[in-house]
Structure 1
Protein backbone atom coordinates (compact mmCIF):
# COMPACT_ATOMS: atom_id res chain seq x y z
CA UNK A 1 0.00 0.00 0.00
CA UNK A 2 1.30 3.41 -0.93
CA UNK A 3 1.31 6.27 1.53
CA UNK A 4 -0.20 8.50 -1.17
CA UNK A 5 -2.86 8.44 -3.87
CA UNK A 6 -3.18 10.70 -6.91
CA UNK A 7 -6.78 11.65 -7.68
CA UNK A 8 -7.43 13.01 -11.17
CA UNK A 9 -10.09 13.75 -13.80
CA UNK A 10 -10.35 10.46 -15.64
CA UNK A 11 -12.72 12.05 -18.14
CA UNK A 12 -9.78 14.07 -19.52
CA UNK A 13 -7.33 12.31 -21.84
CA UNK A 14 -4.54 14.76 -21.02
CA UNK A 15 -5.10 14.28 -17.28
CA UNK A 16 -5.17 10.50 -17.74
CA UNK A 17 -1.87 10.61 -19.65
CA UNK A 18 -0.19 12.47 -16.76
CA UNK A 19 -1.76 10.32 -14.05
CA UNK A 20 -0.51 7.16 -15.76
CA UNK A 21 2.92 8.79 -16.21
CA UNK A 22 3.20 9.21 -12.44
CA UNK A 23 1.75 5.78 -11.67
CA UNK A 24 4.30 4.06 -13.95
CA UNK A 25 7.31 5.98 -12.59
CA UNK A 26 6.60 6.14 -8.86
CA UNK A 27 4.93 4.19 -6.09
CA UNK A 28 1.90 6.50 -6.20
CA UNK A 29 -1.28 4.74 -7.37
CA UNK A 30 -3.98 6.71 -9.17
CA UNK A 31 -7.76 6.89 -8.97
CA UNK A 32 -10.07 8.81 -11.28
CA UNK A 33 -12.92 11.01 -10.15
CA UNK A 34 -15.40 8.43 -11.50
CA UNK A 35 -13.95 5.74 -9.21
CA UNK A 36 -13.89 7.70 -5.94
CA UNK A 37 -15.07 5.75 -2.94
CA UNK A 38 -17.15 7.74 -0.43
CA UNK A 39 -14.45 7.86 2.26
CA UNK A 40 -11.92 9.31 -0.17
CA UNK A 41 -14.48 11.67 -1.73
CA UNK A 42 -15.27 13.04 1.73
CA UNK A 43 -11.57 13.76 2.34
CA UNK A 44 -11.37 15.99 -0.74
CA UNK A 45 -12.43 19.64 -0.99
CA UNK A 46 -16.04 20.31 -2.05
CA UNK A 47 -14.81 21.57 -5.42
CA UNK A 48 -12.51 18.56 -5.88
CA UNK A 49 -13.30 18.28 -9.58
CA UNK A 50 -11.52 21.53 -10.45
CA UNK A 51 -8.03 20.00 -10.24
CA UNK A 52 -5.87 16.99 -9.31
CA UNK A 53 -5.17 16.00 -5.71
CA UNK A 54 -2.48 13.96 -4.02
CA UNK A 55 -3.79 12.57 -0.75
CA UNK A 56 -1.50 11.15 1.94
CA UNK A 57 -2.10 9.87 5.45
CA UNK A 58 -1.38 13.24 7.00
CA UNK A 59 -1.52 15.78 4.20
CA UNK A 60 -3.40 16.71 1.08
CA UNK A 61 -2.10 18.59 -1.94
CA UNK A 62 -4.27 20.15 -4.63
CA UNK A 63 -3.77 21.56 -8.11
CA UNK A 64 -0.15 22.59 -8.78
CA UNK A 65 0.97 21.37 -5.38
CA UNK A 66 -0.45 17.90 -6.14
CA UNK A 67 1.55 17.52 -9.33
CA UNK A 68 4.61 19.04 -7.72
CA UNK A 69 4.40 16.43 -4.95
CA UNK A 70 3.88 13.68 -7.53
CA UNK A 71 7.05 14.89 -9.33
CA UNK A 72 8.88 14.88 -5.98
CA UNK A 73 8.02 11.19 -5.59
CA UNK A 74 9.40 10.13 -8.98
CA UNK A 75 12.34 7.77 -8.68
CA UNK A 76 11.81 7.45 -4.95
CA UNK A 77 12.00 11.22 -4.52
CA UNK A 78 15.77 11.41 -4.17
CA UNK A 79 16.62 13.31 -7.36
CA UNK A 80 14.20 16.25 -7.04
CA UNK A 81 12.96 16.38 -3.43
CA UNK A 82 15.71 18.74 -2.13
CA UNK A 83 15.09 21.21 -4.96
CA UNK A 84 11.34 21.22 -4.45
CA UNK A 85 11.68 21.61 -0.69
CA UNK A 86 13.98 24.60 -1.27
CA UNK A 87 11.66 26.23 -3.83
CA UNK A 88 8.60 25.85 -1.58
CA UNK A 89 10.11 28.48 0.73
CA UNK A 90 9.40 31.22 -1.82
CA UNK A 91 5.98 32.76 -2.35
CA UNK A 92 6.91 33.72 -5.92
CA UNK A 93 7.62 30.07 -6.75
CA UNK A 94 4.29 28.93 -5.26
CA UNK A 95 2.43 31.61 -7.21
CA UNK A 96 4.22 30.63 -10.44
CA UNK A 97 3.51 26.93 -9.82
CA UNK A 98 -0.21 27.53 -9.38
CA UNK A 99 -0.38 30.00 -12.29
CA UNK A 100 1.29 27.43 -14.54
CA UNK A 101 -1.02 24.62 -13.40
CA UNK A 102 -4.08 26.81 -13.89
CA UNK A 103 -3.00 27.89 -17.38
CA UNK A 104 -2.36 24.34 -18.49
CA UNK A 105 -5.63 23.11 -16.94
CA UNK A 106 -7.64 25.80 -18.73
CA UNK A 107 -6.15 24.63 -22.03
CA UNK A 108 -6.10 20.88 -21.44
CA UNK A 109 -8.21 20.18 -24.50
CA UNK A 110 -5.48 21.75 -26.62
CA UNK A 111 -2.70 19.95 -24.71
CA UNK A 112 -4.70 16.75 -25.09
CA UNK A 113 -4.08 16.90 -28.84
CA UNK A 114 -0.39 16.32 -28.03
CA UNK A 115 -0.60 13.97 -25.03
CA UNK A 116 -3.71 11.92 -24.38
CA UNK A 117 -4.94 8.53 -23.21
CA UNK A 118 -8.38 6.92 -23.40
CA UNK A 119 -10.63 8.16 -20.63
CA UNK A 120 -13.36 6.81 -18.38
CA UNK A 121 -13.76 4.58 -15.40
CA UNK A 122 -10.80 2.27 -15.09
CA UNK A 123 -11.74 0.34 -11.98
CA UNK A 124 -8.49 1.51 -10.36
CA UNK A 125 -10.05 2.39 -7.00
CA UNK A 126 -9.96 -0.51 -4.62
CA UNK A 127 -9.18 -1.19 -1.00
CA UNK A 128 -5.47 -1.86 -1.46
CA UNK A 129 -4.91 1.36 -3.40
CA UNK A 130 -6.34 3.83 -0.93
CA UNK A 131 -4.86 5.76 1.94
CA UNK A 132 -6.42 6.55 5.26
CA UNK A 133 -8.30 9.70 4.37
CA UNK A 134 -9.87 9.93 7.82
CA UNK A 135 -6.94 11.93 9.18
CA UNK A 136 -7.68 14.89 6.92
Structure 2
Protein backbone atom coordinates (compact mmCIF):
# COMPACT_ATOMS: atom_id res chain seq x y z
CA UNK A 1 0.00 0.00 0.00
CA UNK A 2 1.24 3.48 -0.86
CA UNK A 3 1.90 6.06 1.82
CA UNK A 4 -1.36 7.94 2.52
CA UNK A 5 -1.43 11.57 1.46
CA UNK A 6 -2.31 14.14 4.09
CA UNK A 7 -3.91 17.10 2.29
CA UNK A 8 -3.91 20.38 4.21
CA UNK A 9 -4.18 24.17 3.92
CA UNK A 10 -0.63 25.22 3.16
CA UNK A 11 -1.49 28.90 3.77
CA UNK A 12 -2.31 28.17 7.43
CA UNK A 13 0.52 28.14 9.98
CA UNK A 14 -1.60 26.20 12.49
CA UNK A 15 -2.44 23.59 9.82
CA UNK A 16 1.26 23.24 8.99
CA UNK A 17 2.03 22.76 12.68
CA UNK A 18 -0.62 20.02 12.90
CA UNK A 19 0.82 18.27 9.84
CA UNK A 20 4.29 18.48 11.39
CA UNK A 21 2.92 16.64 14.46
CA UNK A 22 1.31 14.01 12.21
CA UNK A 23 4.60 13.47 10.36
CA UNK A 24 6.44 13.08 13.66
CA UNK A 25 4.10 10.27 14.77
CA UNK A 26 3.03 8.56 11.55
CA UNK A 27 3.98 8.00 7.94
CA UNK A 28 2.21 10.37 5.55
CA UNK A 29 2.99 12.26 2.39
CA UNK A 30 2.04 15.90 3.05
CA UNK A 31 0.32 17.66 0.16
CA UNK A 32 -0.68 21.31 0.48
CA UNK A 33 -3.75 22.61 -1.34
CA UNK A 34 -1.45 24.53 -3.73
CA UNK A 35 0.46 21.32 -4.57
CA UNK A 36 -2.53 19.13 -5.47
CA UNK A 37 -2.34 17.35 -8.80
CA UNK A 38 -5.46 17.40 -10.99
CA UNK A 39 -6.03 13.70 -10.17
CA UNK A 40 -5.78 14.33 -6.43
CA UNK A 41 -8.10 17.35 -6.62
CA UNK A 42 -10.64 15.28 -8.57
CA UNK A 43 -10.84 12.79 -5.68
CA UNK A 44 -11.65 15.50 -3.13
CA UNK A 45 -15.09 16.94 -2.30
CA UNK A 46 -16.09 20.19 -4.04
CA UNK A 47 -15.49 22.31 -0.91
CA UNK A 48 -12.15 20.63 -0.21
CA UNK A 49 -10.53 23.81 1.11
CA UNK A 50 -12.76 23.77 4.21
CA UNK A 51 -10.81 20.97 5.95
CA UNK A 52 -8.00 18.42 5.86
CA UNK A 53 -8.19 15.16 3.92
CA UNK A 54 -6.48 11.80 3.99
CA UNK A 55 -6.11 10.11 0.61
CA UNK A 56 -5.42 6.38 0.61
CA UNK A 57 -5.28 4.02 -2.35
CA UNK A 58 -8.97 3.22 -2.06
CA UNK A 59 -10.61 5.96 0.02
CA UNK A 60 -10.84 9.66 0.80
CA UNK A 61 -11.44 10.78 4.38
CA UNK A 62 -12.30 14.38 5.11
CA UNK A 63 -12.49 16.76 8.07
CA UNK A 64 -12.94 15.02 11.43
CA UNK A 65 -12.87 11.57 9.90
CA UNK A 66 -9.51 12.39 8.27
CA UNK A 67 -8.13 13.51 11.63
CA UNK A 68 -9.44 10.34 13.28
CA UNK A 69 -7.77 8.17 10.63
CA UNK A 70 -4.50 10.10 10.94
CA UNK A 71 -4.43 9.75 14.74
CA UNK A 72 -5.24 6.03 14.48
CA UNK A 73 -2.02 5.65 12.44
CA UNK A 74 0.12 7.09 15.25
CA UNK A 75 0.53 3.67 16.85
CA UNK A 76 -1.29 0.84 18.62
CA UNK A 77 -2.37 2.85 21.68
CA UNK A 78 -3.86 5.59 19.53
CA UNK A 79 -5.51 3.00 17.28
CA UNK A 80 -7.15 1.36 20.32
CA UNK A 81 -8.34 4.76 21.54
CA UNK A 82 -9.90 5.56 18.16
CA UNK A 83 -11.53 2.12 18.00
CA UNK A 84 -13.03 2.70 21.46
CA UNK A 85 -14.26 6.17 20.46
CA UNK A 86 -15.92 4.76 17.33
CA UNK A 87 -18.14 2.61 19.54
CA UNK A 88 -19.70 5.67 21.17
CA UNK A 89 -23.19 6.23 19.75
CA UNK A 90 -22.56 9.96 19.26
CA UNK A 91 -18.93 9.73 18.13
CA UNK A 92 -19.32 10.96 14.53
CA UNK A 93 -21.26 14.06 15.56
CA UNK A 94 -18.81 14.83 18.39
CA UNK A 95 -15.80 14.25 16.12
CA UNK A 96 -17.10 16.55 13.39
CA UNK A 97 -18.23 19.29 15.78
CA UNK A 98 -14.86 19.18 17.54
CA UNK A 99 -13.05 19.35 14.23
CA UNK A 100 -15.17 22.31 13.06
CA UNK A 101 -14.67 24.11 16.40
CA UNK A 102 -10.90 23.99 15.93
CA UNK A 103 -10.83 24.48 12.14
CA UNK A 104 -13.12 27.51 12.25
CA UNK A 105 -10.73 29.17 14.74
CA UNK A 106 -7.44 28.43 12.98
CA UNK A 107 -6.33 32.04 13.12
CA UNK A 108 -6.71 32.04 16.90
CA UNK A 109 -4.91 28.70 17.37
CA UNK A 110 -2.23 29.93 14.97
CA UNK A 111 -1.27 32.62 17.47
CA UNK A 112 -0.52 29.82 19.96
CA UNK A 113 0.97 27.18 17.65
CA UNK A 114 2.19 27.83 14.13
CA UNK A 115 5.09 27.11 11.81
CA UNK A 116 6.19 28.14 8.35
CA UNK A 117 6.75 24.67 6.89
CA UNK A 118 5.94 21.05 7.65
CA UNK A 119 9.45 19.58 7.40
Give 4+ residue runs of structure 1 displaced > 6 Å after superposition.
Answer: none
Q: 1:2 to 1:23 in 2, by over 3 A?
A: farther
Q: Which has the bigger relative contact order, CA under 8 A and spacing at least 6?
A: 1
Matched, 1:86 2:52: no
Please say if residues 3 and 29 of structure 2, whose CA atoms lie closer than 8 Å, have aligned partners that are also in contact.
no
Query: Per-residue deviation at 1:12?
Result: 0.5
Deviations 1:76-120 (A, max 9, x none): x3111122123213341111111111011111100000000116x
* 3-state DSSP of counterpart to 2:10: coil
Length-normalised TM-score, structure 2: 0.91
1:98 equivalent among 93, 96, 99: 96
2: CA distance, partners of 1:25 / 1:80: 10
Query: Per-residue deviation at 1:17?
Result: 0.5
Query: Per-residue deviation at 1:63?
Result: 0.5
**RMSD (CA atoms):** 1.8
5+ unaligned residues in a row in structure 1: which ranges? 125-136
Length-normalised TM-score, structure 1: 0.80
* Structure 1 residue aligned with 2:14: 14
Deviations 1:52-88 (A, max 9, x none): 00111122111011111111111xx311112212321
* Structure 1 residue aligned with 2:47: 47
Please say if residues 7 and 54 of structure 1, whose CA atoms lie closer than 8 Å, have aligned partners that are also in contact.
yes
